[in-house]
Structure 1
Amino acid sequence: MKTSRQNAEHYIWGDQCDGWHLLKRQDLSIIHEKMPPHTAETRHYHEKSQQFFFVLEGTATIEIAGETFELEAHEGIHVAPNTPHQMFNQSDRDIQFLVISEPTTRGDRYPS
């Protein structure tokens, strides 16, 4: 079955941010996320899950273990397990990105 934002399970997180589960399995998760301007997720880490963030639209800022990176559209970055990280939208427009997690982060998210 084809998957898109139109038919994927939707949820709202943080400060009016959107997420769509494009693939929701225990061994692999792919989520399309949208963050409005000047929003941020809570800094956290995962004990088991590794993640890859890939920006589709806009400029995202991500802090990983104390180092800050700006990601433009069509750029991505890997976050290893046990690595504190936090995604920000410091721009004046929405950002959209994919979060690919292996295995899923469900039950594996800890404040940092």
Structure 2
Amino acid sequence: MHLARYDTLEPFITADGSTIREWAGPGYSPARHQSLAEATLPPGTATIAHYHPRAEELYLFTAGRGRLRVGDDERDVQPGDCVVIPPGTVHKLWNSGDADLVLVCACSPAYSHEDTILVEGDQPPAD
């Protein structure tokens, strides 16, 4: 059995600029096809607009308040909201509150820097 405890997880910065603590993923757990992590965005910050050619993401917001753009749709997000981000869809997250914006993120296939394409000027990828 693989058991990950939050207080032992080493945080790292993803390609989009968020701070991640990964509970499960290839290379350090038995998970081979997905990853599960907690992401934190401090107040007044945002991720870099990006997309993942291969990975589908699920965001489950657990603390704070923010705004999320997925494709052409932009909405406020708060604890208890869950968003599906299809592969190849540009997305960007802002913390619009006065506390950390925290979310659990599941990726399939697992998150990798190589599957993260940063997008200049928040524009969708060219065809």
Q: How does the TM-score come out when normalised to structure 1?
A: 0.88
Distance in 1 of aligned mates of 2:3 and 2:118: 35
- 1:111 counterpart (114, 118, 125): 118
The CA deviation at 1:95 is: 1.2
Gaps of 5+ in 1: none
Deviations 1:69-92 (A, max 9, x none): 212111110000110001110111
Q: Per residue, is there more helix in 1 or in 2? A: 2
The CA deviation at 1:2 is: 2.9
Larger Rg: 2
Gaps of 5+ in 2: 27-31, 120-127
- 2:107 counterpart (68, 78, 101): 101
Does structure 1 conserve the Cα–Cα contact (< 8 Å) formed by 2:34 and 2:111? no
The CA deviation at 1:60 is: 2.5
Superposition RMSD in Å: 1.5
Does structure 2 conserve the Cα–Cα contact (< 8 Å) formed by 1:59 and 1:71? yes
Aligned partner of 1:65 in structure 2 is 71
Does structure 2 conserve the Cα–Cα contact (< 8 Å) formed by 1:28 and 1:101? yes
Aligned partner of 1:20 in structure 2 is 21
The AA in structure 2 aligned to 1:94 is D
The AA in structure 1 aligned to 2:77 is L
Deviations 1:39-74 (A, max 9, x none): 101001111100000111111311011211212111
Identity of aligned residues (%): 18
The AA in structure 2 aligned to 1:3 is A
Q: How does the TM-score come out when normalised to structure 2?
A: 0.79
